Amino acid sequence: MSELEPNLRSLAAELEWPPTPSIELRLAERRRRLPRLAIAIALLAVALAVAFAVPQARSAILRFFHIGAVTIERVGTLPPARERALAVGLGAPISRREAERLLGPVRLPPVRGRVRLYSLDDVVSTILTTPDPTLLSELGVGGPPVLKKVVGPATSVTPVRVVNPGDGLWISGERHVFILPAAPPRLAGNVLVWEYKDVTFRLEGRTLDERTALRVAREISR
Amino acid sequence: MEGRPLAEAELVARAQRGDERAFEELIRPYEEIAFRIAYLITGGAAEAEDAVQDGLVNAWRAIGRFRRGEPLRPWLLRVVANAARNRRRSAGRRAQLVLRAESEQSSGDAAPSPEAIVLARDERTRLLGALNALPENARLVLACRFLLGLSEDETAAALGVRLGTVKSRTARALDRLRDVYE
């Protein structure tokens, strides 16, 4: 160890930090605001569900939508993106224990054999067989990456019910662009995004249909 | 038992049953360190405060999934740091660490000469300047390890990276700092 490390440690006592604010009070204020916020979100979900049913309203309303840690933007022209295999860019392999440290309990549908988990920027992913390869990703509470999906006019986004009304969105039709901050944009196929117990799930497969996606999602969310 | 602080495990159990007071008591010892991590990541006190608020609300919502028996501090710091990173995306600036004013610093047991004080102060200012000039990843890992005194595990949790990454990033960051400073 050089002198650098003790010198750095000795700096710690001499730094000027901004005063720590009164966190307790603000936390209480936030909690009181939550029911109102929850009502507002519920009303917005109802409004969007109605708007989704009206074709002309879709492009106007769906410019920006948010579910869990995923943001969806509707645009006229998709940004440039490449086709890539589902298993590319999932990050480093991690053990289930490491994954649970990031997420809490890792939820998987019943599978045979060993499941390989990967982690990139706190997104834990695995490839399932349903029977075709399907990518399942889970994002925990306050997860740093806000996954972004950019959809064009020929992609439909439909609210679906996985466990509770409005807890999921089914994105299908023409490919859309999937953006994870740590990876280059890529084209994505059909996707189900849903939120369950503060975890955002994303299921993607080239041949994935809505019925299969909902079945897998319900197996995971119970 | 009355008046005696409850053990962390008991507070976690109570918070998991929905006891908000227990949760507040649980997080109180970590407010300062959480705020400082958020400050390092967001680059501003106001953003850091919002990030801590976001993080603690997230932690409250997720406390049911916290594994009893695991240390709380790394988990909590990770949740707050995640909230800070989300805030920082829009802010896009970094905190410049500064030394406290001369009069507020402790002078130690023996009073050093005025020249020694000036020299020591210059050295510390130079070291801090070199640290502030490092690339963000390098600066953050060194700040977490040496300025905030986080363990490697806690640093991994706060930065959202693996333990091995903390070790390698720390070694590289020290090399870079040495190049600039020494």
In this prediction the ipTM stands at 0.79
- Count of helix runs (H) and strand runs (E) in chain A: 5, 14
Q: What is the CATH number of the domain that holds B42?
A: 1.10.1740.10
Contact assignment for B65 to A198 by CB distance below 8 Å = yes
Among B91, B113, B136, the domain boundary falls at B91
Using a CB-CB cut-off of 8 Å, the residues of chain B touching A10 are 124
Residue whose structure tokens are 């905030």: B148
Q: What is the least distance, in Å, from the CA of B49 to any CA of chain A?
A: 7
pLDDT score at B30: 92
Interface contact B162-A98, CB threshold 8 A: yes
Average pLDDT along chain B: 81
pLDDT computed for residue A167 by the predictor: 85
Contacts of A130 by beta carbon, 8 Å cutoff, 6+ apart: A205, A208, A212, A216
Last residue of a domain, one of B38, B71, B91: B91
State the pLDDT confidence band at A31, using cuts at 50, 70 and 90. Answer: very low
The verdict on pTM exceeding 0.90 is no
Give pLDDT, residue A57: 38
- Residue B110 touches partner A, C-beta closer than 8 Å: no
For residue B96, being part of any structural domain is answered with: no
Q: Kindly tell me if the per-residue pLDDT of B26 is higher than 80.
A: yes
Lowest mean pLDDT among A23-27, A200-204, B37-41: A23-27
Q: Range of B56's domain?
A: 8-91
Domain presence at residue B112: yes
Do the chains contact at B182 and A4, CB–CB below 8 Å? yes
Q: Is residue B3, in this structure, part of any structural domain at all?
A: no
pLDDT of residue A33: 43
How confident is the model over A160-168, as a mean pLDDT?
Answer: 85
The two three-digit tokens of residue A133, written as one number? 């390869």
B82 is a domain residue: yes
Whether residue B56 sits in one domain with residue B15: yes
Asked if B132 and B84 sit in the same domain, the reply is no
A1 CB within 8 Å of a chain B CB? no
Residue B113: give its domain's CATH number: 1.10.10.10
pLDDT at residue B71, as a whole number: 86
> What is d(CA A143, CA A121) in angstroms, rounded to the nearest whole number?
8
Q: Does residue A50 carry a pLDDT above 50?
A: no
Kindly give, in sequence order, each residue whose CB lies less than 8 Å from that of residue B149, ignoring residues fewer than 6 positions away: A9, A12
Phi, psi for A151 (deg, rounded to 5): -115, 145
What is the per-residue DSSP string for B62-123?
A: HGGGSPTTS-HHHHHHHHHHHHHHHHHHHH------EEPPGGGS---SS---HHHHHHHHHH
More confident residue, A12 or B94: A12
Same domain, B167 and B125: yes
- Which of A33-37, A80-84, A155-159, B23-27 is least confident? A33-37
Which of the four pLDDT bands, split at 50, 70 and 90, describes residue B143?
Answer: very high
Per-residue model confidence (pLDDT) at position A45: 53
What gap in Å lies between CA B88 and CA A146, rounded to an integer?
Answer: 12
pLDDT at A34: 42
User: Chain B residues with CB inside 8 Å of A12's CB?
Assistant: 146-149
Chain B, window 20-39: residues with a beta carbon less than 8 angstroms from a chain A beta carbon: 20, 24, 27-28, 31-32, 34-36, 39
> What's the mean pLDDT when you consider all of chain A?
74
**DSSP 8-state assignment for residue A82:** B
Å between B20 CA and nearest CA of chain A: 9
| % of chain A at pLDDT higher than 90 | 5
Tell me: pLDDT of A127 over 80.
yes
Are A197 and B65 an interchain contact pair (Cβ–Cβ within 8 Å)? yes
Condensed to tens digits (0 to 9), the pLDDT of residues B101-127 reads 654 444 455 566 666 555 577 788 888
Cα separation, A154 vs A202, in Å, equals 20
Are residues B85 and B121 both part of a single domain? no
Give the whole-angstrom CA distance, residue B74 versus residue B150: 9
Yes or no, beta carbons of A16 and B142 under 8 Å apart:
no
pLDDT reading at A7 higher than 70: yes
Domain count, chain B: 2
Q: Which of A81-90, A101-110, B161-170 has the highest mean pLDDT?
A: B161-170
Higher pLDDT, A11 or B6: A11
The whole-number pLDDT of residue A43 equals: 46
For position A181, what pLDDT does the model report?
Answer: 64
How large is the average pLDDT for residues B153-171? 90
Q: Are B149 and B78 within one domain?
A: no
The answer for residues whose C-beta is within 8 angstroms of residue A14's C-beta and 6 or more apart is: B99, B100, B105, B124
Residue B62 near chain A (CB below 8 Å): yes
The verdict on B117 touching A (C-beta cutoff 8 Å) is: no
Q: What is the mean pLDDT of residues B29-53?
A: 89
Answer yes or no: do B81 and B136 share one domain.
Answer: no
Model confidence band, residue A83 (pLDDT cutoffs 50, 70, 90): confident
Q: Look at residue B144 in the predicted model and tell me its pLDDT.
A: 95
> What mean pLDDT is predicted for residues A9-18?
85
CB B112 within 8 A of CB B120: yes
Pair B62, B135 in one domain: no
The answer to the question of residue B122 being in a domain is: yes
Which among A10, A15, A122 is the nearest to B97, CB-wise?
Answer: A15
CA-wise closest residue to A128 among A143, A149, A139, A113? A113
Residue B113 in any domain: the answer is yes
Same domain, B139 and B175: yes
Segment of A53-57, A87-91, B47-51, B72-76 carrying the highest mean pLDDT: B72-76
Contact across the interface for B82 and A144, Cβ inside 8 Å: yes
The answer to whether B166 contacts chain A (CB < 8 Å) is no
Token code pair at residue A29: 């204020």
Statement: residue B133 has pLDDT above 50: yes
Task: Say yes or no for a CB contact (<8 Å) between B82 and A197.
Answer: no
From chain A, the residues in CB contact with B149 under 8 A are 9, 12
For B28, which residue in chain A has the nearest alpha carbon? A24
Quote the pLDDT of residue B102: 57
pLDDT of the residue at B147: 92
In a domain, B56, yes or no: yes
Has residue B2 been placed in a domain? Answer: no
| pLDDT score for B38 | 93
The two structure tokens encoding residue B146: 């040496």
Q: Are residues B70 and B138 in the same domain?
A: no
Of the three residues B48, B68, B91, the one that is the final residue of a domain is: B91
Are residues B85 and B16 both part of a single domain? yes
**Taking a C-beta distance cutoff of 8 angstroms, is the pair A130, A158 a contact?**
no
Q: Provide mean pLDDT across the span A31-45.
A: 46
Please check whether residues B57 and B123 belong to one and the same domain: no
